[in-house]
Amino acid sequence: MNEFILQKNSIQEIPAFLVTRVSGFSESAEYKELRDYELDIPGVVCGVFAKYLCKMHERRLEGHTDESVNSAISSAHEAIEVLASSPESTSRELVTDEIYENLDCKENVLEQIRSHLKPESRALYQRWND
């Protein structure tokens, strides 16, 4: 997963990155609700991705520990880490402005999400949350 490095001006690649790297995202109800023209808008896709992430963590807290949930959570956090580690500031801004801002979930779910953040995404979350 960490071999993917966003290059300069690659913000438009983020929707495809999330769809191909996050297990189950492209088949999710959240993603399928997007209109065709929204599928290529990085901010829109990141916002929907945040909702998917909340749903997967909520499912885990409800006791769903099947491989699909575990894989979705693991790959989602890997993807966030890649975006948070990007040298491109617009990628990091998408993480804070479109993913972290859209984590609209119960406190116990949000705590579960925060506990799974990796080093760069955790540091970015802390800077954003201060």
Long-range contacts of 102-106 (CB under 8 A, 24+ apart): 102/46, 102/47, 102/50, 102/51, 103/50, 103/53, 103/54, 104/50, 104/51, 104/54, 105/54, 105/57, 105/58, 106/58
Provide the percentage of residues in the chain whose pLDDT is more than 70: 93
pTM of the model: 0.91
Give tens-digit pLDDT for 72-111: 999 999 999 999 999 989 999 999 999 999 999 999 999 9
Residue 5 has pLDDT above 80, yes or no: no
Under a CB-based contact definition with an 8 Å cutoff, are residues 49 and 99 in contact?
yes
Residue 11: band (very low, low, confident or very high) from pLDDT cuts 50, 70, 90: confident
